[in-house]
Chains A and B, each alone.
Chain A
Amino acid sequence: MYTQKRYDVIVIGAGHAGCEAALASARMGCSTLMLTMNLDTIGQMSCNPAIGGLAKGHLVKEIDALGGEMAKITDRTGIQFRTLNKSKGPAVRGTRAQADKQRYRAAMKESLEKQTGLDVKQGMVEKLLVGGQRVSGVETNIGVQYLSSTVIITTGTFLKGLIHIGLSHYPSGRAGEFPSLGLSDSLRQLGFELGRLKTGTPARLNGRTIDFSRMKIQPGDDPAPFFSFSEKTHPLQQLPCYLTYTNPLTHEIIKNNLDKSPLYAGVIKGIGPRYCPSIEDKVMRFSERERHQVFLEPEGLDTEEYYANGVSTSLPVEVQTEMYRSITGLEEVEIMRPAYAIEYDYAPPMQIRHTLETKKIEGLFFAGQINGTSGYEEAAAQGLMAGINAALKVQQRQPLILARADAYIGVLIDDLVTRGTNEPYRMFTSRAEYRLILREDNADIRLRDRGREIGLVSEVDYQQFVEKRQSVERELKRIKKTWVKPSAEVNAVLEQRGSNALSSDAALEQLLKRPELSYGDISVISPTDHPLKDDAAEQVEIQIKYEGYIQRQMSQVERFASLEQKDLPEDMDYDSITGLGSEVKQKLKHVRPVSLGQASRISGVTPAAISLLLVALEKRKRGRS
């Protein structure tokens, strides 16, 4: 047996979770090893070539605020940027980008390779080394052992991956790649419960064979928004997307061939996401609809491949071809890579803690699709948190756990560990009960300090943030105490904006609260001696205009805080608590919530049950003292 040098942290997998995990732990000073089955698919976008969107954009900005990599690489390699929901309030605006798939991958690989303290190696892990319920390293299929005190598994769809195209299927981790078989068995042997999920991806089409002139063009925003709070460049040429629609003929082709769909023939056992149904599903479940949208998204600057967003399918290739060709503008289309569905193993996430460490094996962390999530952003967010917490554990420091009121990342992880999931979990803004204060625009204000504390945010980035925060605070203070006189100049500006003229002195703050006035108008009416950068000005405007709603959410957070702060010990003996129903006891024992707040989010746990827990806690406390 050939044993390599010891590491602090080993990351298995180099997808979006693995990349963030490895970078975080290495940057925090831990000697880190990343093992991937294929060095050429690091940071691969296996599904659509896009990052962000509603709630996902929020995650990316939070990753950036904490010192992660995804936002920076996206800004550097993006070929289209837009803000979704621009007409709605700031809390539900989301940034979305098309990335150049190859460049994204290459840029991420470069970041990893250049990172000191990080070794990136090719190797297929077959087995976890575990002694006394503690992880001690990994072993590859060719018998090489790597030792470490922590291991992070980020294997995506590779665990017992099974690809379906029509009624034929074959083991694979991703189109054209091997699956990981041994690791799944190794986890099962260690006593982990594994489930089965399904996801799918549409075909990639050759742009040379697409008639874009018959489709609606969708350009990016100008100016293009950024993901990262620190780097502000979009070096690449920007490309549009195109919109077309399915039609009754498309739907008929699908209906006539349903018997060849593995979903409908019952071949696929895994549960697919409801929010990302295959075109078969959409046509069958919403049969009254005459058309469904198809977005054609460029996969990069140097390729003709287009991603057909909206028509993922697992029908056989010949049916796929007929179906795609029935769509306006795709009459002559050539498929370069067929659509497929993939089934894979996941570990239902009630088996992990808020740190993403498994409850069963100390030092073993799970992040990404293995926890039942879908999406690059969800994966990256978990990878970052797992990397951080593995490093903090190695360094014997306090773990970093974000609360639901702190970040979407907090909502994501708390949902997973509290309620589990039986379909691929995706983030939505509606999952965040405090969404009005968890905005993209304030992700840095919410999280930069935390990122700095753990050592992931560089001095330069942090200083830039501190300056922004100071200028926002200074300007807020000024606006709150400045009054303006009803002068002719002021009223001229107001009139121009269609706003009522002043007849007596008015508070600047009240003026900014008028819907028709912007911060720009306010700074004309009463200029500051310290002009603000755009992002600081935006922050001032949002904090004043939405003050009422923001305060309302803050007080909701406070009301709930006393429950969140009451810790439930891990060895709480739920069986001995009289009055708790047996079903509630069962759930509490399964989840082992860390706080009364978490307990209250378990379905079936009523306010009366919380009262009983509160009394039991107090009793236990007094029994000890």
Chain B
Amino acid sequence: MSDQDTICAVSTAPGHGSIGIIRISGNDSIVIAKKLFHPSRPKDLLTVPSHTIHYGRIIDPEDRTIVDEALVTIMRGPGTYTREDVVEVNGHGGPVALERTLGLVIAEGARQAEPGEFTKRAFLNGRIDLAQAEAVMDVIKARTDASNRAAQEQLKGGLSREVEDLRQKLIGLLAGVEAGVDFPEEDIETPEGRPLGKEIESVALTIKGLISGFAFGKIMREGLATAIVGRPNVGKSSLLNSLLREDRAIVTSMPGTTRDIIEESITINGIAVRIIDTAGIRDTHDLVEQEGVKRSVAALASADLVLLVLDGSEPLHDGDRQILEEVSRKNTVVVINKADVPRKLEKLARPEVQIDVSCKSGQGLDELRKAISRMALGEQGAPGEHAWAVNTRHKQALEKALNSAEKAAISERNNASPEFIALDLRDALDHIGTIIGATYTEDILERVFRDFCIGK
């Protein structure tokens, strides 16, 4: 942890409201923003005036996908809260998109802020006066307590045990390496087990499993973001109402009824599901509807699961084909609605699960619910082997640990001298330590003396 790092954090509570803010502070904040944010009109964020707002898209530099639409505010120090360069990203796509954007900001080199760290910087950089110092301490304390409590909650599950196992395994590996380095004269018997390289690889695999559990942990925490999409009048709002079992959204026979996003939460098989009804996607000259369509596309992009609704009583439409194209990269269930009337829709050769339902009669809705929970939990209908990897901070730590473990594995393969392998294994331990507490040299030495007969 260094005061020179560029730091970032989401500054609205997750799950509340569809607009959240990511705040980035530090020397590299504008450079990082420039890499991710593509303004709608060409301009260079590095040279725009301070305290200006810009509209555009957040694009993943890896796969060029659109992550979110956003308003980005550029503020140069010292006229900012922290007196450093500050960028604020106002995303529109809700918590899921926000989390993805945050991940990208971190991938570009920022570090997730410690609790109260923005305020701490504000104080250390002279932005806040002495009278407020106590309040700063309280903020740090309160945020630390809150995040500790939250982390503890999350760690109650399988994670703490799995991460602790992982840490013990790493300590064990390091003990072996260090014993070989520090006690060359002892005839140390390597304990039962696979060769070091294999052990390191298995550690890396475990970390990967924990990271993949991240998506599941997020769903458990924030709910499965499920977007209902389709062209106008296929029965999207009707489907929302049917799943909610109440008349939440307005339903009419007029195409283009729904103009904005409607979000409601329900529980399916114990899983929190956030159902998002969207405006029917079509080309339109109506300005309000245009904006609605834009939001539909964004919701689709950031959803964990897409329910693509088709009207079974009509042949496939060009509009349908266009949307089918758009969802090809997403987890999708194709819902063929209006099963109570004779079918005119041709058979679809699609990889997605297809379910016939009728919002009128309620036919097929149970099957749809089952399909949703299967999509959330995986085929076994239960969380994967490594569930519960929790928040972005944990994910970040695990990814760094993975990186270090992989470096150690490479060094081992290249027959590097053990102290170099140890360097990366220690880094991995340090990263794991940010989740469940620091590891000290004493812990490693303890294992050396426990596992090996040392002492001439």
Nearest neighbor of A286 in chain B, beta-carbon distance: B453
Number of residues from A at the complex interface, CB < 8 A: 54
Inter-subunit contact B181/A619 (CB<8 Å): no
Measured between beta carbons, the chain B residues less than 8 angstroms from A429 are 181-182, 419
Cβ proximity bits A550-561 to B, threshold 8 Å, 1 near / 0 not:
001100000110
Bound form: Cα–Cα A276–B456 in Å = 6
Q: How far is the CB of A428 from chain B (nearest CB, A)?
A: 5
Chain B interface: which of A32-40, A289-297, A452-460?
A289-297
Chain B interface: which of A81-89, A98-106, A498-506?
A81-89
- Contact residue among B2, B130, B186, B426 (Cβ-Cβ distance under 8 Å from A622): B130
B369 contacts A by Cβ under 8 Å: no
A271 contacts B by Cβ under 8 Å: no
Bound form: Cα–Cα A607–B116 in Å = 12
Chain A interface: which of B33-41, B296-304, B437-445?
B437-445
Given contacts A579-B137, A618-B124, contact A607 B1 (CB under 8 A): yes
Measured between beta carbons, the chain A residues less than 8 angstroms from B56 are none
- Contact residue among B133, B182, B438 (Cβ-Cβ distance under 8 Å from A619): B133
Nearest neighbor of A552 in chain B, beta-carbon distance: B423
Given contacts A293-B187, A552-B423, contact A578 B134 (CB under 8 A): yes
A54 contacts B by Cβ under 8 Å: yes
Chain A interface: which of B16-24, B46-54, B138-146, B358-366?
B138-146
Measured between beta carbons, the chain B residues less than 8 angstroms from A562 are 2-4
Inter-subunit contact A84/B184 (CB<8 Å): yes
Inter-subunit contact A559/B141 (CB<8 Å): no
Which of chain B's residues 285-322 have a Cβ closer than 8 Å to chain A? none
Inter-subunit contact B181/A430 (CB<8 Å): yes
Measured between beta carbons, the chain B residues less than 8 angstroms from A436 are 419-420, 423
Which of chain A's residues 577-604 have a Cβ closer than 8 Å to chain B? 577-579, 603
- Contact residue among A282, A293, A577 (Cβ-Cβ distance under 8 Å from B137): A577
Mostly helix, strand, loop or mixed at chain B's interface?
helix
Given contacts A54-B183, A88-B417, A549-B420, contact A608 B453 (CB under 8 A): no
- Contact residue among A274, A286, A615 (Cβ-Cβ distance under 8 Å from B120): A615
Bound form: Cα–Cα A197–B452 in Å = 23
A2 contacts B by Cβ under 8 Å: no
A91 contacts B by Cβ under 8 Å: yes
Given contacts A276-B455, A310-B456, contact A608 B144 (CB under 8 A): yes
Which of chain B's residues 335-393 have a Cβ closer than 8 Å to chain A? none
Q: How far is the CB of B119 from chain A (nearest CB, A)?
A: 9
Given contacts A88-B417, A289-B453, contact A608 B140 (CB under 8 A): yes
Given contacts A286-B453, A293-B187, A430-B445, contact A88 B137 (CB under 8 A): no
Bound form: Cα–Cα A559–B455 in Å = 36
Measured between beta carbons, the chain B residues less than 8 angstroms from A623 are 130
Given contacts A430-B444, A603-B440, contact A611 B453 (CB under 8 A): no
Which of chain B's residues 126-167 have a Cβ closer than 8 Å to chain A? 130, 133-134, 136-138, 140-141, 144
Inter-subunit contact A615/B419 (CB<8 Å): no
Which of chain A's residues 62-105 have a Cβ closer than 8 Å to chain B? 84-85, 87-89, 91-92
Measured between beta carbons, the chain A residues less than 8 angstroms from B115 are 608
Bound form: Cα–Cα A53–B1 in Å = 35
Inter-subunit contact B185/A615 (CB<8 Å): no
Interface-centre pick from B130, B423, B456 (highest chain A CB count, 10 A): B456
Nearest neighbor of B452 in chain A, beta-carbon distance: A286
Measured between beta carbons, the chain A residues less than 8 angstroms from B124 are 614-615, 618
Q: How far is the CB of B285 from chain A (nearest CB, A)?
A: 55
B99 contacts A by Cβ under 8 Å: no
A435 contacts B by Cβ under 8 Å: yes
Measured between beta carbons, the chain A residues less than 8 angstroms from B130 are 619, 622-623
Inter-subunit contact A282/B117 (CB<8 Å): no
Bound form: Cα–Cα A53–B186 in Å = 12
A277 contacts B by Cβ under 8 Å: yes
A55 contacts B by Cβ under 8 Å: yes
Measured between beta carbons, the chain A residues less than 8 angstroms from B183 are 54
Measured between beta carbons, the chain B residues less than 8 angstroms from A55 are 182
Measured between beta carbons, the chain A residues less than 8 angstroms from B133 are 615, 618-619, 622
Measured between beta carbons, the chain B residues less than 8 angstroms from A292 are 453
- Contact residue among A89, A310, A431, A618 (Cβ-Cβ distance under 8 Å from B419): A89
For the complex with contacts A289-B189, A433-B426, A579-B140, 7 further pairs of A-B residues with Cβ separation under 8 Å are: A54-B184, A429-B182, A430-B444, A431-B441, A578-B134, A607-B1, A612-B141
Q: Which residues in B have some Cβ–Cβ distance to A below 8 Å?
A: 1-4, 114-117, 120, 123-124, 130, 133-134, 136-138, 140-141, 144, 178, 181-187, 189, 417-420, 422-423, 426, 438, 440-442, 444-445, 448-449, 453-456
* Nearest 3 pairs of A and B residues by beta carbon: A579-B141, A89-B417, A274-B449
- Can you spell out 28 A-B residue pairs with CB atoms less than 8 angstroms apart? A88-B181, A89-B419, A91-B419, A92-B419, A277-B455, A286-B453, A292-B453, A293-B187, A309-B456, A419-B442, A428-B178, A429-B181, A429-B419, A430-B444, A430-B445, A430-B448, A435-B419, A549-B420, A552-B423, A578-B134, A607-B114, A608-B140, A612-B137, A612-B140, A615-B120, A615-B123, A615-B133, A622-B130
